[in-house]
Amino acid sequence: MGKKKKIIIISAVVLFIIIIILSIGKKKGWIGEKEKIKVATELVKRRNITEIVSANGKIQPEEDIKITPYISGEVVKLYVNEGDKVKKGDLLAEIDPKIYLSNYERMEAALNSQKASLASSEARLLQAKSQFAKEELSFNRNKKLWEQNVISKADFEAAKSAYQVAKAQVASAEQNVKAAKYTVSSSLASLKEAKENLTRTKIVSPSDGTVSKLNVEQGERVAGASQFSAGTEIMRIANLNEMEVNVEVNENDIVRVNLFDTCLIEVDAYLNRKFKGIVTEIATSANVTGVSADQITNFNVKIRVLKDSYSDLIVNSKFPPLRPGMSATVDIQTQKANNVITVPIQAVTTRADTTGKFKNKTKENESKEYNPDKNEEEEIKEYVFVYDNGIAKLQKVKTGIQDNMYIQILEGLTENQEVIVAPYRAVSKKLKNNDEVKKVDRKLLFTKK
């Protein structure tokens, strides 16, 4: 009985080992049919492809004027509030004019004083000219008498001296008049400057628009503009009828963006709605952020939001629908191709060990994975797997532009061919040329029995 029990135990162990070997062998493909890779496929079709460059930014007015004072002082009056609409020339604010009024009156008094001095100098000039005329007549008369030996030489020289002195006095009086005129001109310029400063205490709007930002309150002091400072920004006047989006485009994408490219704009404040726009300005200099290896290089691009795309919002709202500072996402449409052969983006792969390098050995497109031990540099190529009656055929392709879902095929495929599009791991790494695959619905790809 013990021997029989021993045989039963040994038989059970052997049977268990055989079952394990059969299970592993079936899974590894040693025994029975090898487990096929489940894949999903799609047909090669003709579609319209629009290549886009996406970027984020902020909405801002095309015309946004910073209002800063020319002079310093206390803001004694504010005539507008944030959001008010203004016309060109409207009074916006007033800076305390007392000190500038006093300066103007002082310059005016100085000018009047200089004008009086000028009049006095001109009168002295007339007096000097009259005296000169008298002395000139006396000199000419005495000269004739001296030539006739009627008067002595001393009398002649006295007359000549008086003539020369009178002549010098006329020249001196003329110079005094010129100096007085220059002084009057200087005082006139000072008065003009004082008047201008007095006028600048009243700040007026330089254009039509809306007060988009108000930075000061009545009673605050502001600094005037100078060669070292732009001065205190009092407010901003913006034309909210013409809005634009200022976005930053990466250096890798900026080469594809051109002036007047059309755009689709999504504003965070308006869900499920897209506005239309057009590229109006592309920066020639980059914005570089970060340091050393972490530097990011972007270029500013301005996109005008077309008013027709949000005209209904203007009618239904008392406030501007697009306001400065709103966040927006822009899709810049850089290229477009109509009725071209396309496949889903995930169907195209460079395959292999992320290098995308292949070694084509036969004309039948049989491929072998890149061997890193061989120092052979080969061109990176793109491939798709064509589904052919349960076989995955590796096919080299040449691609064109792409959108978010599909990519253009320039060479290698024809319409209505069936290509493998999923799962991603199989397409990118696992599948090899002439592998057997099992086509299933995409929903069943990741289900287990």
Number of domains in the chain: 3
Cα separation, 124 vs 126, in Å, equals 5
Q: Please, what is the average pLDDT of the chain?
A: 83
pLDDT in tens, 252-274: 889 989 999 999 999 998 988 99
Tell whether 43 and 67 lie within a shared domain.
Answer: no
140 is a domain residue: yes
Decide if pLDDT at 192 tops 80: yes
The yes-or-no verdict on residue 361 having pLDDT over 50 is: no
Length of the chain: 449
Strand 358-360 and strand 406-411: the pairing is: unpaired
In DSSP terms, 328 is beta-bridged to 57, 267
Q: Which of the 8 DSSP states describes residue 308? A: G
Token couple for 238: 């913006």
pLDDT band of residue 390 (cuts 50, 70, 90) is confident
Residue 255 lies inside a defined structural domain of this protein = no
Q: Based on the domain organization, do 229 and 377 belong to the same domain?
A: no
Q: What secondary structure letter does DSSP report for 321?
A: S
Q: Range of 382's domain?
A: 35-51+342-444
Task: Give the CA radius of gyration of the chain.
Answer: 47
Confidence (pLDDT) at 131: 86
Question: What's residue 274's pLDDT?
Answer: 92
3-state secondary structure 92-139: EEEECCHHHHHHHHHHHHHHHHHHHHHHHHHHHHHHHHHHHHHHHHHH
More confident residue, 8 or 280: 280
Whether 282 has a pLDDT exceeding 60, the answer reads: yes
CA distance 342 to 109: 86
- Does residue 92 share a domain with residue 163? no
Which domain CATH number covers 376? Answer: 2.40.420.20
pLDDT at 95 over 90: yes
Please, what sign has the CA dihedral across residues 358, 360, 361, 364?
positive
* 137 and 205 share one domain: no
Percent of the chain scoring above 90 in pLDDT = 31
CB-CB contact of 299 with 282 (8 Å): yes
Q: How far is it, in rounded angstroms, from Cα 58 to Cα 272?
A: 18
Rounded to the nearest 5°, which phi and psi values hold at 53? -120, 120
Task: Please indicate, yes or no, whether residues 104 and 195 belong to a single structural domain of this protein.
Answer: yes
**Domain end point (choices 143, 173, 199):** 199
Cα torsion angle, 34, 40, 45, 47, sign? negative
- Return d(Cα 46, Cα 338) in angstroms, integer: 8
Whether 187 and 229 share a structural domain: no
pLDDT tens per residue, range 291-333: 666 788 899 999 999 998 988 888 766 678 888 889 999 999 9
pLDDT tens string 193-246: 999 989 999 999 999 988 988 999 999 999 988 878 888 999 999 988 899 999
DSSP string, 17-51: HHHHHHHHHHHHTSSSSPPPEEEEEEE-EEEEEEE
Q: What is the value of pTM for the model shown?
A: 0.63
Largest CA distance in the chain: 189
Residue the block writes with tokens 């809005």: 243
